[in-house]
Structure formats: C-alpha cells, structure tokens
Amino acid sequence: MEKKIILSGIQATGSLTLGNYLGALNNWVEMQDKYDCYYMIADLHTLTIRKNPEELRQNTLSLIALYIAAGLDPEKNTIFIQSHIPAHPSLSWVLNCYTYMGELNRMTQFKDKAAKHADNINSGLFTYPVLMAADILAYNADLVPVGDDQKQHLEITRDIAERFNSLYGETFKLPEAYIGKVGARIMGLQDPTAKMSKSATNELDKVLLTDMPDDIRKKFKKAVTDSENKVRYDREAKPGVSNLMSIYGIIKNKSMEEIEKEFDGQGYGVFKTAVAEAVVERLEPLQKRYNELLENPEKLKEIYQKGDKKAIEKTDKLLKEVYRKVGLVVD
C-alpha cells in the first residue's frame, strides 16, 4: 500500500527551541517509518523579515544538522531546502491569482507579525499563507503536522485548492491536519500562557536545543510557577507548573498523575531541578551529533542535494499540469 505523504518545515531563523523539538521534531521522528515524509528548511519564508545574508545561510545548514541530530533519518525522509525547489515560488504566484484579498486580510498571523514589525509591513508578510499553500499543494500532501496557530493557514490552503479544482478539474489533494498526541504546544518558561518561541526577546523564556547544560538549568530554575508550591496539573490555574509537567512527562514518558505522585510534598525546587536534568540528559546526544554534523559541511550538502533532487522530481510534474490547466505554454 502506498504511504501517505506528509509535508512540513521550519523557518531558518536560528536554533530550534525545546518546544520545536518536543512539539514537532519528536513527532516527525515517530512518523518516518509510517509515512512518505518531506521536510523542508523554509528559507523563503524567512525573507519577510530582514535577515543578515550570511547568518541566514548558516542557519539553513544548522537547521539541517538539527533535523538529523534530532533523529530524522535522511534515508527515510526527504530533507530539502525550500528555495532550491522551483515549484514553491512558481506555484505560489499562480495560487496568488486564485486567492482573494479578503481571505488574506482575515489571517491572524499577518496581524500579529505586522504589529511586531511595523517598520517593515511588506507584501510578503501578507501573501505568506499563499506560499505556504504552494509548499503543501506542490507535493499533494495528505497530512500536514500543525499546531493550533497554523490551523488557519491549512484552512486557506484547502480553500485555494478547492477553488482551483472547481475551475480546472481535480488537480490538488485537500490536505488534512496531523496533530501529535503529545507535545503539540510547549509554552514559554517566563510566560506559560504563550507558546515557546525562538523569536522570544526574553532569553529565559525559551530553551534552545544548542543551549549549554548550565544555561538550561538556570532557565528552569527561574521558570515561572505559582505560590502553591504543589506539583499539580491544572492548565488554567497553574499554567507554569503544568507546562513543566508536560515537558517532564514527554521526556520521561510519564502521565500527569504519575508526576504528581513522584513529586508529592517535595515542592518546586526539587521539581524544577528534575525537569532541568531530564532536558539536559535528553539533549546531550542530540548536541553531540549536531556538532559532529556541523564539522562536516560536505555531508550536509550531500544530504540536502539528494533531498532537493527528489523534491524537484516530485513537484515538477504537478507544476507543469497546473501551468497547462491555466493556459501557459508547457514544453
């Protein structure tokens, strides 16, 4: 039986967070034997915000290394660089012509990003969801791993695909959301009501996969909790403690009830230390593998070139079909 296709990617904007790892990469690793997986470094998406060119290039290679260090086998997954695949920008332009301004105006992420970058509200920020739709539809992906904050983008992708299909006949699959059972939303350590983000300005709010062990311990020691001093899971009343319990539970494969029992009567100091040590222990082999890969840039190049080739082969036929259907001359 043919495997279902999964497509996802992460922007090349620096080191990934513990939230990226537990909420995304961890689930990707579990999917690699069951699905036909395409994982990109979304470097085109980063251009909506001004970047240092050399830094962007280095971040792209670093992200490939982190994918592999986190457990993605390049023999089982297609790992590629978005900008190397002509179908992404080419299909995006066609789909822009089948997307309405009103649809893009409703995108909450555009409003959020425009507020954060008021000095650079460019058209790329506005049409970002169309490029994301092209990313997904170019591969005829069956499933897209998404968090709650990305569901709106998947909805507009389906709307665009349905509109195109109704005009020109069956062309695109309508992708479904794939949401992991656990770790879908790891929150910040200083603001446990918001998702942990690598763009957070407060360094204590995020744990990076490349953080040194002592820095990780420091961040968990300063993590926001509450005055009750009791390890108890309650997302509404105790968001900070509940977030730490989620992190510990995923790493140690323990239920919230088991964690409550393990730390009953021990207070937050002991609990925070245990969470920090669990994270340090989990990241140690990942960091070792990551550093080894960065020291071998030719190996990284070999991996992404192989992935690029497969991604181009996968998307070229569909792009030509779209061109033909809209009336462009195709050789």
301 catalytic? Reply is: no
Number of Cβ atoms within 10 Å of the Cβ of 68: 21
Please tell me which residue in 51, 76, 198, 325 is annotated as part of the active site: 198
Q: What is the dihedral of CA 42, 44, 49, 54, to 10 degrees?
A: 90
Using only C-alpha atoms, what is the Rg of the chain? 21
**Catalytic option among 113, 206, 219, 272:** 113
C-alpha to C-alpha distance for 8 and 130, rounded to whole angstroms: 15
Beta bridge partners of 8: 39
Indicate if 320 belongs to the active site.
no
Which CB contacts under 8 angstroms, 24+ apart, belong to 254-263?
259/231, 259/233, 260/231, 260/232, 260/233, 263/231
Contact 18, 279 (CB under 8 A): yes
Q: Please, are residues 175 and 142 in contact by the beta-carbon 8 Å criterion?
A: yes
Q: Which of 121, 107, 106, 104 is nearest to 49 (CA)?
A: 121
Please count the other Cβ atoms lying within 10 Å of the Cβ belonging to residue 253: 8
In the residue annotation, 221 being an active-site residue is answered as no
Helix, strand, coil shares, percent, the chain, to 5: 55, 10, 35
Question: Please, are residues 280 and 216 in contact by the beta-carbon 8 Å criterion?
Answer: yes
DSSP code of residue 107: -
Placement of tokens 């670093």 in the chain: 62
Q: Considering 195, 206, 238, 314, which one is annotated as catalytic?
A: 195
Rounded Cα distance, 62 and 294, in Å? 7
C-alpha 188: how far from chain center:
16
Question: Which residues are tagged catalytic?
Answer: 113, 195, 198
